[in-house]
């Protein structure tokens, strides 16, 4: 019914005068320097790698600096190595302390020690780690400079559970007075069939998320407090997605270029009161950016909802294209808002 087709980013930049944002838009699993230019062209501005060999990291850092890309990497093999001093000048977004300490039952003491060690060696760099759910049995919220959450629901869980876990993490930070701590969401971009599942019958269940699902999770994260987005993972069975899943990669590029545009609005713009009242379960966020008002409207449910007809009047410009037949249906007073969908509007006075 709907097409998640993005208008060319070049046209958008020219038309609306919006530049790329400092908002982190990262991708996991970029292990080779030659792939950095590819993800840069797609619209990502930072990369993560699980590689820890200092010599490999040095090559990645050199190309990342050349491409104006930031790094999220493990510090441990670099510390106390011959690369330690020069690593202080790598284009580091943050040192990656640990991957899902809640899943692996890592103590607060161990994670705190890792954080303190990294900051002692690299006082000019931030630290980050990712938890596998928004609310953890061990309270990690006061450790490190940045908190990340990876929650991969497809196809096992309701799609809205992703945003709900981002909200839980935001609440955990708020309780301890760390409202302003950066919170980065890690979005599923892989097929669960490719990973070990804890099932007695070892029957793997999974599929690659659809374009609409990845797009929805991106915006749902922001609606629930995320201040940066990462996508897991660049490879499928060890092969980069542009080669292993070219159609899915094309969809991802469309999404990332859209987010590269809209992230400037909600990152650098000023959030303002919504122009009109929005009835639940729909949610809306409105921003003033460079004197122009933008409205993000989301349906975070699995059901069709009533679409506020006001948004299809002449003073609301739908930035991204939709199905022309649906537009006609709405103009005739029969309006439905698709499940798990997001509209982005520019308000024209």
User: Environment class of residue 120 by beta-carbon count within 10 Å: exposed (0-12), middle (13-18) or buried (19+)?
Assistant: exposed
Global pTM? Answer: 0.91
- Judged by average pLDDT, the poorest of 169-183, 188-202, 312-326 is 312-326
User: Environment class of residue 7 by beta-carbon count within 10 Å: exposed (0-12), middle (13-18) or buried (19+)?
Assistant: middle
Q: What is the mean pLDDT of residues 71-79?
A: 97
Confidence class for position 300, pLDDT limits 50, 70, 90 = very high
Q: SS3 letters for 75-126?
A: CCCCCCCCCHHHHCCCCEEEEEEEECCCCCCCCHHHHHHHHHHHHHHCCCCC
Confidence at residue 335, expressed as pLDDT on a 0 to 100 scale: 63
Which ranges of 269-309 would DSSP assign to H, the alpha helix?
none
Give yes or no for residue 20 having a pLDDT over 60.
no
Confidence at residue 200, expressed as pLDDT on a 0 to 100 scale: 63
Q: What is the rounded distance in angstroms from the CA atom of residue 285 to the CA atom of residue 275?
A: 9
Confidence at residue 12, expressed as pLDDT on a 0 to 100 scale: 35
Give yes or no for residue 7 having a pLDDT over 60.
no
- Judged by average pLDDT, the poorest of 194-208, 277-291, 325-339 is 325-339
Give yes or no for residue 8 having a pLDDT over 50.
no
More confident residue, 70 or 202: 70
The pLDDT tens digits of the residues spanning 259-288 come to: 998 999 989 999 999 988 899 999 999 999
Name residues whose C-beta falls within 8 Å of residue 174's C-beta, 6 or more positions apart in sequence. Answer: none
Name residues whose C-beta falls within 8 Å of residue 208's C-beta, 6 or more positions apart in sequence. Answer: 189, 190, 191, 236, 245, 248
Cis bond upstream, residue 325 (ω within 30): no
The pLDDT tens digits of the residues spanning 135-148 come to: 999 999 999 999 99
What mean pLDDT value characterizes the chain? 89
Confidence at residue 80, expressed as pLDDT on a 0 to 100 scale: 95
* Domains of the chain (ranges, CATH numbers): 20-268 (3.20.20.80), 271-347 (2.60.40)
Name residues whose C-beta falls within 8 Å of residue 280's C-beta, 6 or more positions apart in sequence. Answer: none
More confident residue, 198 or 297: 297
Which ranges of the chain would DSSP assign to H, the alpha helix?
9-16, 36-42, 54-67, 84-87, 108-121, 161-175, 211-223, 241-244, 246-268, 324-331
Q: What is the rounded distance in angstroms from the CA atom of residue 57 to the CA atom of residue 220?
A: 33
Bridge partner residues of 289 (DSSP): 292
The CA–CA distances, whole Å, from 217 to 181, 222, 300 equal 21, 9, 9
Q: What is the dihedral of CA 139, 144, 145, 146, to 10 degrees?
A: -60
Confidence class for position 16, pLDDT limits 50, 70, 90 = very low
Q: What is the mean pLDDT of residues 298-317?
A: 86
Confidence at residue 215, expressed as pLDDT on a 0 to 100 scale: 96
Confidence at residue 183, expressed as pLDDT on a 0 to 100 scale: 98
Q: What is the mean pLDDT of residues 115-129?
A: 97
Q: What is the mean pLDDT of residues 245-259?
A: 96
The pLDDT tens digits of the residues spanning 221-250 come to: 999 999 999 999 999 999 999 999 999 999
Q: Which residue carries 């230019």 as its tokens?
A: 37
Give yes or no for residue 51 having a pLDDT over 70.
yes
């Amino acid at each position: 019914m709907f097409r998640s087709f993005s208008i060319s980013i070049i046209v958008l930049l020219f038309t609306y005068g919006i530049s790329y944002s400092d908002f982190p838009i990262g991708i996991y699993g970029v292990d080779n320097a030659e792939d950095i230019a590819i993800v840069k062209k797609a619209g990502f501005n930072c990369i993560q790698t699980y590689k820890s060999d200092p010599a490999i990291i040095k090559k990645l850092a050199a190309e990342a600096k050349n491409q104006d890309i930031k790094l999220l990497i493990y510090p441990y093999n670099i510390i106390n190595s011959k690369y330690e001093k020069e690593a202080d000048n790598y284009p580091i977004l943050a040192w990656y302390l640990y991957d899902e300490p809640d899943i692996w039952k890592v103590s607060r003491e161990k994670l705190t020690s890792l954080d303190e060690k990294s900051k002692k060696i690299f006082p000019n760099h931030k630290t980050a780690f990712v938890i596998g759910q928004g609310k953890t049995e061990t309270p990690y919220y006061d450790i490190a400079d940045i908190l990340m959450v990876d929650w991969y629901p497809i196809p096992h869980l309701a799609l809205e559970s992703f945003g709900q876990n981002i909200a839980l993490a935001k609440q955990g930070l708020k309780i301890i007075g760390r409202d302003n701590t950066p919170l980065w969401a890690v979005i599923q971009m892989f097929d669960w069939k490719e990973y070990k599942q804890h099932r007695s019958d070892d029957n793997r269940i999974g599929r690659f998320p659809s374009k609409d699902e990845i797009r929805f999770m991106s915006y749902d994260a922001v609606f629930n407090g995320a201040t940066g987005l990462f996508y897991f993972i660049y490879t499928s069975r060890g092969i980069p997605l542009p080669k292993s899943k070219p159609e899915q990669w094309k969809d991802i590029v469309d999404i990332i270029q859209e987010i590269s545009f809209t992230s400037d609005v909600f990152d650098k713009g000023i959030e303002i009161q919504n122009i009109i009242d929005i009835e639940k379960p729909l949610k809306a966020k409105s921003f003033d950016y460079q004197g122009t008002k933008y409205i993000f409207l989301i349906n975070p449910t699995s059901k069709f909802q009533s679409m506020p007809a006001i948004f299809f009047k002449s003073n609301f410009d739908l930035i991204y294209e939709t199905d022309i037949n649906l537009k006609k249906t709405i103009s005739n007073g029969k309006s439905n808002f698709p499940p798990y969908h997001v509209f982005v509007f520019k308000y024209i006075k």
